[in-house]
Structure 1
């Protein structure tokens, strides 16, 4: 069964929260909307196999047994061999359980959207879809919410109630900070997550100077960047004089969108930032999922799992 099919089966097998779980009608509507969108996409596209796309943490020691011809001599347990006066080897099994960490940017730059939804709404829904997957696949999942500070942290755990708590936090969170500091979640991940995990960094990546911590996090963890963008960031409409406000700094600029030179400078600058970011991720070995507010939420995720499955 494909990964997204498992997710949908998880939706069907998992009862919706009760009133006792303090889920508002508005939040319930958001959750149902995510379920419907995901179900629709899975009927149209096949997803990559979850087991193939994301292998477990590695090989875990299981037992020792007598050496047999053809066994890898590098696995010989020399202490046991010395005690028993005959060769014994260590036996390992693949550990399938995954630790998944969602790192979600809730800074004010996400308060932008020209297609009916803000970037931060898309981020929350994408994170919720990944959290839903944990219900079915029985993986541990945690959450780091950040802006220019670590806003909230939920340690990785299993269980339906735990996942509902993560989803409720993601969809309802009201941030204290306005700016973005991508170093903070990466540093925090390295501090609190000692064992290798799959870490999804969900952001519009408007911040800079986070390359060093990105490299360090990639060396220890399986890092996937999910970049959220809006089409108007690289394609300004002709609306004459408009006031553009930087959501994070509050700075307001007066722009003549009929001025082709001005709009070309602005859009070229944004495209340049995206190109440089892609080159950075590629050079470090960070996988990337690009999601546009005007496009599908699930299709890029499905395509990523397909590509990753082929690699493994």
Structure 2
């Protein structure tokens, strides 16, 4: 069976899908392989440490993984089995991670072999893989000046790969994105407290109040897409002077004044470019966030 046929069979789930071009199928396979190779136990544990739920309903135990909060270790089970075990809670495995992805004109740029939209797709693949491994569900809303498509919450690899597939098929039409309209739709898509991952160049303004309301209800991560060679994002703003969490590539919005709306809600901001090695950057960022939460 050809590579294209394999991807259609895997992603289609019995539903009609457009034919996937060979070059696109190859890129999809590369994204999937890259994510799978990087998704180690430490990576999944780092995600859980950074975005673990606060629910109190006990849901069992599992083996300890590097990056887990040591305060969740169940010492009785550990003593009985001889292996470190941690307690799990309903919120930890039932949360929804919503990726709100900007697919407007600002994502056309890129350098080397990747566009900013392809970088966004890889972020979704990596963070989504860790979320599913941690028991969370993943959903996606893609926006330009309007909502392009929505994929509802699911907890399986097929749904995640379909998200990547749909993102790589998008062809930005040169329209500026309407982040305010995109954020206004979030309460309909993320009804319970969850994790909101915003992926955008963050051009424009006027969405700060809506973003603030969402940040009070959900955990928020902003991934800023930046094309360094093309100078995108530098004409109107400064690049963060320092990374507040060391070499993780992660900057608290306080020292990142180029996006005032993110500064006001004290969002965690990760700046990525087409040259960024995403897996190690994200893993270190998650571990740093987890340590900060545990302090």
TM-score normalised by structure 1 residue count: 0.65
Within 5 Å, give how 1:245-256 maps onto structure 2.
none
Q: CA RMSD in A?
A: 3.2
Does 1:287 find its partner at 2:268? Answer: yes
Unaligned runs of 5+ in 1: 1-15, 63-91, 236-265
Q: Is the 8 A contact 1:113 1:293 kept in 2?
A: yes
For the residue of structure 1 that corresponds to 2:97, the secondary structure is strand
For the residue of structure 1 that corresponds to 2:211, the secondary structure is helix
Residue 91 of structure 2 is matched in structure 1 by: 95
Structure 1 residue corresponding to 2:193, chosen from 176, 192, 196: 196
Does 1:106 find its partner at 2:103? Answer: yes
Structure 2 residue corresponding to 1:219, chosen from 216, 220, 226: 216
CA offset at residue 152 of structure 1? 0.9
Structure 1 residue corresponding to 2:118, chosen from 105, 117, 121: 121
Distance in 1 between the 2:220 and 2:261 partners?
13
Unaligned runs of 5+ in 2: 1-5, 60-87, 241-254
Q: Is the 8 A contact 1:41 1:298 kept in 2?
A: yes
Within 5 Å, give how 1:155-304 maps onto structure 2.
155-175=152-172, 178-234=175-231, 267=234, 269-271=236-238, 275-277=256-258, 280-304=261-285
Deviations 1:29-69 (A, max 9, x none): 223322444466568x964523322212523499xxxxxxx
Distance in 1 between the 2:239 and 2:283 partners?
27
In structure 2, do the counterparts of structure 1 residues 200 and 145 end up closer, same or farther at CA, with 3 Å as the change threshold? same
Q: Is the 8 A contact 2:105 2:173 kept in 1?
A: no
For the residue of structure 2 that corresponds to 1:162, the secondary structure is helix
CA offset at residue 114 of structure 1? 2.9
TM-score normalised by structure 2 residue count: 0.69
Residue 258 of structure 1 is matched in structure 2 by: none
In structure 2, do the counterparts of structure 1 residues 178 and 275 end up closer, same or farther at CA, with 3 Å as the change threshold? same
For the residue of structure 1 that corresponds to 2:177, the secondary structure is coil
In structure 2, do the counterparts of structure 1 residues 272 and 296 end up closer, same or farther at CA, with 3 Å as the change threshold? closer
Distance in 2 between the 1:122 and 1:28 partners?
16
Residue 243 of structure 1 is matched in structure 2 by: none
Q: Is the 8 A contact 2:256 2:263 kept in 1?
A: no
- Alignment coverage as a number of residue pairs: 237
Please tell me whether Structure 1 or Structure 2 has the larger radius of gyration of its CA atoms.
1
